[in-house]
Amino acid sequence: MKVLLLNPPICIQDVYGRFAQLASFQPPTGLAHLAGYLLQYGHEVEIIDANCLSITIEDIVKEIKKYPPDLVGLYTISYNYPVIEKLSKSIREAVPMLKMVAGGPHATFMPEQTLHETPIDFCVMGEGEETLHELVEHLEVGAKDFSDIPGMAYRTFEGEIKKNGERVRVKELDDLPYPAIHLLPPLHKYKLYLLHHKRTPYFSVASSRGCPYKCVFCETPSGKIVRAHSAEYTADYLQFLEKKHGVKEIHFVDDTFTLNEKRIFKLTELMHQKNIDLSWYGTAHANVKNMDVFKAMKSAGCWIAAVGIESGSQKVIDMLDKGTTKERMKATCEGVLAAGLKLKTFFVLGNPGDTVDTIDETIEFAKSLKGHFPVFSLMTPYPGAPLYENAEKYGIFDRSGFDKLKIATDDPVFIPFGLTKEILIKKQKQAFRDLYFNPAMIFRHLVGLSSPMDAIKLTKAFKAYLAAQFTFMNVQAKSSS
């Protein structure tokens, strides 16, 4: 069966706003995993990454009309839902009988609404390898009943929308084939974060799935039960990326990369044994117990680690149900820096329970952590997150359109009681200004330069940041005049 997997076009300006120059579009590894799974069963698979190739909806429809597949798969994420609507309707008009299936976070958490509002025929909920394969097998034999495929919602031939039960997630990740990277565009074509890579080609790696934590702002399509590739499988895969595809840098996109510290120690040991020469980016939860794990990561090529902090107020941290404390967060960040790694920290302003005082506390806490890349986002509840269901309990939430749920925005959709949109925007600007125009921050970056290319990228990033700030000030001046 011929299957086309699509990563729909996204306007980087719409998603990242004034920070577009600093943003990134990375390879759609999820589609490559699906393709690799289908290929092992003899199906013909193609991937079109519209973002990387700058392909429009019109281009995609022309290609499909010229070479129609048997099934089109669409990756969905909430802030790009308007594009999904337009693209799926355009495909239906061009090839009326073509079947369409949607997957990804939005289809996982909003399957019935997606089927109701678009001509999409099927929605895969959660991890898609087995569900998509069973759907393809059903379509190949002309089946009309899909009620026996767990993890899927669908529209019947009579137009009724049905949602099947959940699928038991893959327990042994090592049994899965490698992703079909050869079906993606050349890796050098992808736009990477300006300051968050040392070398190219670059690729994203998920060495585990799931997250055990219960943060109210987070949606986890892979569920709360964490399953991980073995250290041996992961090391072999990294060597495959390096030798077969020429990859020089990777980003571990695991929700909880350091959760099993024993596995990380074993992985770094194997990377040494196999002489794997990769620079890489890892993430860490604030509950790291053995700080030596960061030294092991550093020795195996890691140069930067990211920690989700969210708030500097313990009261707000507790309301977010993060399951940690400021003291643990600080200790983890100190462990990252002590290992000689650069530190990226994530903060959210406008959380449930936030006030001007707690936001100021967050900004001061961010300074105390001495990170290299603090990021201050505005709270945006996404479908699938507990906060999406009860946001009005804590503030005003604009539910007028999924396109408002952006990664970076000058127009916050969630405003906690007691705050205003203007206060949130002002505080976000203050946070970036206070951190990045801080002499200590500037010194950290200057002493951390290791090559002329680092200096060039730092200069470009500084210019882009200044442009973003001045754009921001101009927009605010116009809106208040």
Q: Which residues contact 385 (CB under 8 A, 6 or more apart)?
A: 216, 217, 218, 219
The pLDDT value recorded for residue 3 is 98
Q: How far apart are CA 194 and CA 461, in angstroms?
A: 7
Report how many helices (DSSP H) and strands (DSSP E) the chain contains, helices first: 18, 17
Q: How far apart are CA 121 and CA 159, in angstroms?
A: 10
**The pair of three-digit structure tokens given for residue 357, joined into one six-digit string:** 């005082």
Instruction: List strands edge to edge, sheet with 202-205.
Output: 202-205, 249-252, 279-284, 302-310, 342-349, 373-378
Q: Which parts of the chain sit beneath pLDDT 70? A: 11-23, 194-195, 407-410, 461, 464-481
Residue-wise pLDDT tens digits, 82-135: 999 999 999 999 999 999 999 999 999 999 999 999 999 999 999 999 999 999
Contacts from 314-318 at CB under 8 Å and sequence distance 24+?
A: 315/353, 315/358, 316/351, 316/352, 316/353, 316/354, 316/358, 316/362
Q: How would DSSP label each residue in 250-277?
A: EEE--TTTTSSHHHHHHHHHHHHHTT--
Q: How far apart are CA 8 and CA 6, in angstroms?
A: 6
Q: How would DSSP label each residue in 75-115?
A: E--GGGHHHHHHHHHHHHHHSTT-EEEEESHHHHHSHHHHH
Q: Which residues contact 441 (CB under 8 A, 6 or more apart)?
A: 372, 435
Residue-wise pLDDT tens digits, 126-173: 999 999 999 999 999 999 999 999 999 999 989 999 999 999 999 999
The pLDDT value recorded for residue 409 is 63
The pLDDT value recorded for residue 250 is 95
Q: How far apart are CA 406 and CA 12, in angstroms?
A: 10
Sequence letter at residue 185: P
Beta strand pairing status for 249-252 and 342-349? unpaired
Start-to-end CA distance of the chain, whole Å, equals 59
The pLDDT value recorded for residue 15 is 63
**What single-letter DSSP state applies at residue 184?**
S
The pLDDT value recorded for residue 264 is 97
Q: How far apart are CA 8 and CA 76, in angstroms?
A: 8
Closest by Cα among 408, 340, 347, 400 to 373? 347
Burial class (CB in 10 A: 0-12, 13-18, 19+), 317: buried
**The pair of three-digit structure tokens given for residue 434, joined into one six-digit string:** 């206070």
For the chain, helix, strand, coil in percent to 5 are 45, 15, 35
CB-based burial, 339-362: b 16+ in 10 Å, e otherwise: bebbbbbbbbbbbbbbbeebbbbb
